[in-house]
Each structure stands twice: as structure tokens, then as C-alpha cells.
Amino acid sequence: MDLAVESSGLTKRFGRQVAVDSIDLAVPRGAVYGFLGPNGSGKTTTIRMLLGLIRPTAGRHALLGSAMPAGSGRVLPKVGTLIEGPGFHPYLSGRDNLRRLDAADRTADPATSRARIDAALARVGLTAAAGKRYRAYSLGMRQRLALAAALLMPRELLILDEPTNGLDPQGTREVRALITAVAEAGTTVLLSTHLLSEVEQICTDVGVMHQGRLVAQSSLAALRASVAPRARVETAQPEVAGRVLHELGMSEVSVTGQTASGRLAGVAPEKAVAALVEAGVPVRGFTVVEPDLEELFVSLTGEGFDVSG
């Protein structure tokens, strides 16, 4: 498989504390990879190592097929970044801050600089505020400017650390739509987040960090498939329904109030409905409940995620 981000045994120790513990990342090209984990789980340290800001204690990694950090001069111009929140000169305008970053990029053509800066500002909806000093920007505008900087050049890979942090619900939707659009144009996106909902909405792949370790990594579809959906029956006779579900071979059958449910695990839903009717269960409602990713992640990490976003 062609990988946009690849690491093996990537480790960072600060003194005696292990911040990142031997992780093997595999981000397929074209994926929107959700790098999911609670705060302090090592996501940002990993991203800093990927970009060559922090030297790994052990392990190696490659971006877009080139070994890092040796290939950084060639590879990083094709990588747009948002690292641990925006960072700009407060007394320069948003536009001047982008000019500065563009001037620093030796692969950027000065002749197209203005057009690219305008295009990037327009994409994140900052055109009107481009001339304002950065210090006067709200947190949401700062975040947008950081995204504009990540989109200054055509990129093959975006590494975005918590891109919707500090945005209002409208801004969050816009940024997610932007990421989806960039990904549809063929750019691989590695997106670190602590929001499970963000992963569910826009990601195709996911890697779960917990206390410095990558505890799970796969495509979202495969992950969903690994957990069978549940069948839920609403009926006045839940006890009987529960017994029928159990006899059909479902596991984890539970009966509460006016409902009975069980994990389908290969049992066709229509077969279950037929069996229930045959057994004389008065079925009021029958639903197939898709597996709950949060439940799965909690079982992986032993901790909950903030799912409010």
C-alpha cells in the first residue's frame, strides 16, 4: 500500500517520561486519517516528530515516501501544517503573516505569491479581515489564518492538529467541509482530534492514541464491521422476544422495559423479524442499531472522549 505517512517504532522520551511509545503509523494516500486520542496522549509530540521539530528517541518515519528528516527540504513544501494552534506575528496583518511564510518557502514562486495568498484567504473566509493586525483576530479567525497558511501551496499532505479548536459550530462545519473538499481533490489529511464526532463525520481511517501508544489503527469501515450491529425489538412481551433472539444465536441479549435487544452477529434482520412474528411476539418496532464507536474506543482506551463537538 502507498503510504503518505509511515512510521515504525517511533518513540520520544522526555527524561524518564515516555511521551510516544513505539508507534507504527500507516496513513494511506488519499485518506482522511483521524488521529484520535484524549489530550496528553502523545498526538502533538508525534506530529512534531513527523515534521522534524522534535528528534525521535528511537524509530524512523517517512512522509510521502521520503525518509525524514533527511528528505524534509524536498517533502515539507508539499505538506501543509497546523501544529498545536496558530502561531503568527501579532503586530503583522493576516496577509503580511502569510507573505512572511511564503517568503520563507524557497520552492514558492514569488510571481504567484499574491494570487496564492488571496486564494488561501478566500478559501478560509478571511478576505475581509486580511488587512487587520493578527492581534485583533478572534480565536476562530486565528485558526482560519493557520489553515490558510497550510493551503498556501498545493499540498499532497495536510497535517492538522486540532483544526476545529476554538471555532464556533458554524466555523467548525465550514472547516470540516473545507477538509473534505481538500481531501476530495486528492490531498491526504492527517487530522489530530479528541473529538470522536469529528472522526465519524469526515474521516476514512482512524488511529487511536492512548498514553503514548497507538492502541488501534484501521479504516473506519473495517472498524465498524468488526463490531456487529444490534437488533432492537419494541414489544409488549420483551421477555419472549429476548428468548427468540437468544434462540436465533444472538449474543449479549438484554431485556429492558418494553424492549429486547441482541447483537446480530451474522443473523439477518429479516430472519429475526420473521422468527419473532412466528413466535407470536407483537412487534411494534424493529431497528438495527449501528455499532457505537464511542463504546468501542472507550473499551480500547478505558477512557471516554469528549463527544460534544
Partner 1 sequence: MSAADLPVAQPVRWALRPELRLLRSELLLIFGRRRNWAGLAVLAAVPILLATVVRLSGGPAAGEGPNFLSSVVDNGYYVPLAALAISLPLFLPLAVAAISGDAIAGEANVGTLRYLLAVPVHRTRLLIVKYLAVMIFAVAAVGLIAVVGLVLGVALFGIGPVTLLGGEQIGVGEGLLRLVAICGYTAAGLAAIGAIGLFISTLTEQPIGAAITVLVVTMASFILDSIDQLSWLHAYLPTHWWLAFGDLLRQPIYLENVERGLLSAGAYIVIFWTAAWARFSNRDVTS
Q: Interface residues with partner 1 (CB under 8 A)? A: 48, 51-55, 72-74, 76-79, 81, 83-92, 99-101, 103-107, 109-110, 112, 115-116, 119, 149, 153-155, 182, 185, 187
Task: Please identify, using beta-carbon distances, which residue of 27 and 240 lies nearer to partner 1.
Answer: 27
The minimum distance between CB 60 and partner 1, in angstroms, equals 17
Task: Please identify, using beta-carbon distances, which residue of 152 and 206 lies nearer to partner 1.
Answer: 152
> Are 177 and 144 in contact, with CB atoms under 8 Å apart?
no
Task: Please identify, using beta-carbon distances, which residue of 81 and 237 lies nearer to partner 1.
Answer: 81
Residue with cell 452477529: 265
Which residues of the chain form beta strands (DSSP E)?
Answer: 3-14, 17-23, 26-28, 32-36, 58-63, 66-68, 79-82, 157-161, 188-193, 205-210, 213-219, 230-235, 251-256, 259-263, 283-289
Give the burial string for 196-223 (b: 16+ CB within 10 Å, else e).
bbbbebbbbbbbbbbbbbbbbbeebeeb
Task: Please identify, using beta-carbon distances, which residue of 152 and 223 lies nearer to partner 1.
Answer: 152
What is the crossing angle of helices 139-150 and 169-184, to 10°? Answer: 10
The minimum distance between CB 185 and partner 1, in angstroms, equals 6
Task: Please identify, using beta-carbon distances, which residue of 17 and 299 lies nearer to partner 1.
Answer: 17
Q: In the sheet where 205-210 sits, what is the strand order?
A: 79-82, 157-161, 188-193, 32-36, 205-210, 213-219
The minimum distance between CB 46 and partner 1, in angstroms, equals 13
> Are 66 and 74 in contact, with CB atoms under 8 Å apart?
yes
The minimum distance between CB 222 and partner 1, in angstroms, equals 30
Task: Please identify, using beta-carbon distances, which residue of 90 and 282 lies nearer to partner 1.
Answer: 90
The minimum distance between CB 99 and partner 1, in angstroms, equals 7
The minimum distance between CB 83 and partner 1, in angstroms, equals 5
